[in-house]
Amino acid sequence: MYHYRESGLKNIWLRNGYRIVDTPYGEAVEIEKVEQLHRAIARAVMARPRLSGREFRFLRTEMNLSQEALARMLGNSAQSVAVWEKGRGAPKWADRLIRALYREHAEGNVSLKEIFARAEAGTSNKLAEAKIVRLNFEKTRGAWKFADAAARAA
């Protein structure tokens, strides 16, 4: 398995869908359909009840937003966003808003009511109830998907 640190998340592992290639500068990893992989990672982290700081940053960077641009959207300071990303995550209101922004970015026009209801319901999700140690992804039939989680009780 390949520990996919390039996502900015420490707990992402790939079962397949990658290969080691030789380059003039040494070995490198080539990942198939990396944009699709990042959408699968985003779906998995959004299933959790609260985003960690790194997960918050992952969603922000997937939307190609700077800390400053996101802060303006949220009516806050770039320094606040930086603190959230380096710490344990954002306050609940910012957590929910970045999820809504990401869903709109990824899926188009979505209902905020549906997003917030899904966030509330997510607390009963098996994935959400455990502290995630490691998220595993695999490529099957040409698409990346969440494979499973190595988890321990919180």
Q: What is the mean pLDDT of the chain?
A: 85
Convert the pLDDT of each residue in 90-138 to its tens digit: 999 999 999 989 988 888 876 766 666 665 565 444 444 446 678 889 9
pLDDT band at 69 (very low <50, low <70, confident <90, very high): very high
Task: Report the pLDDT value the prediction gives residue 124, as an integer from 0 to 100.
Answer: 46
Contact, 131 vs 152, CB < 8 A?
yes
How much is the pLDDT for 129?
A: 46
Q: Which residue has the tokens 């869908």?
A: 17
Number of domains comprising the chain: 1
Beta strands 12-14; 130-140: pairing state: parallel
Answer with the residue of higher pLDDT: 21 or 118.
21
Percentage, residues of the chain above pLDDT 70 = 81
Average pLDDT on 133-148 reads: 85
Q: What whole-number distance in Å separates Cα of residue 63 and Cα of residue 69?
A: 11
Mean pLDDT of the region 40-69: 93
Residue 51 domain-assigned (yes or no): yes
Q: Which domain holds residue 63?
A: 2-144
Average pLDDT over residues 22-35: 93
Share of the chain above pLDDT 90, in %: 55
> Would 78 be classed as within a structural domain?
yes
Assess if residue 151 is contained within a domain. Answer: no
β-strand partners of 148? 136
Quote the pTM value.
0.77
Decide if 126 is inside a domain. yes
Residue 31 lies in a domain: yes
Contact status, residue 27 vs residue 21, Cβ threshold 8 Å: yes
Whole-angstrom Cα distance, residue 5 to residue 123?
27
Which of 102, 23, 3 lies closest to 55, judged by CA?
Answer: 102
CA separation for the pair 9, 75 (Å, rounded)? 26
